[in-house]
């Protein structure tokens, strides 16, 4: 998750703008930090070995 937050710092949402991707406190809560095509490619075939099941 640290890598995701680091990428968000380089986006337009990191500035002082208002957006549905930010809470009232300014925290970015978007569920991906890249373009939608990259998100789709990474999530179209889940890698269950990466999940932590409890």
DSSP string, 1-54: -HHHHHHHTTSGGGSS---TTB-TT--B--S-SS-HHHHHHHHSS--GGG----
Domain count, the chain: 1
pLDDT tens per residue across all 54 residues of the chain = 567 667 767 776 677 777 777 888 878 777 777 788 988 888 888 777 777 766
Q: Which domain holds residue 13?
A: 2-50
What is the C-alpha to C-alpha distance for residues 13 and 27, in angstroms, rounded to an integer? 9
Q: Tell me the C-alpha distance between 34 and 40, whole Å.
A: 10
pTM of the model: 0.43
Rounded Cα distance, 5 and 44, in Å: 22
């Amino acid at each position: 998750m640290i890598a995701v937050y680091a990428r968000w710092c380089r986006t337009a949402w990191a500035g002082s703008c208002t957006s549905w991707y930010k809470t009232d406190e300014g925290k970015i809560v978007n569920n991906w930090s890249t373009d939608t095509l990259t998100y789709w490619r990474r999530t179209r075939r889940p890698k269950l070995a990466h999940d932590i099941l409890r």
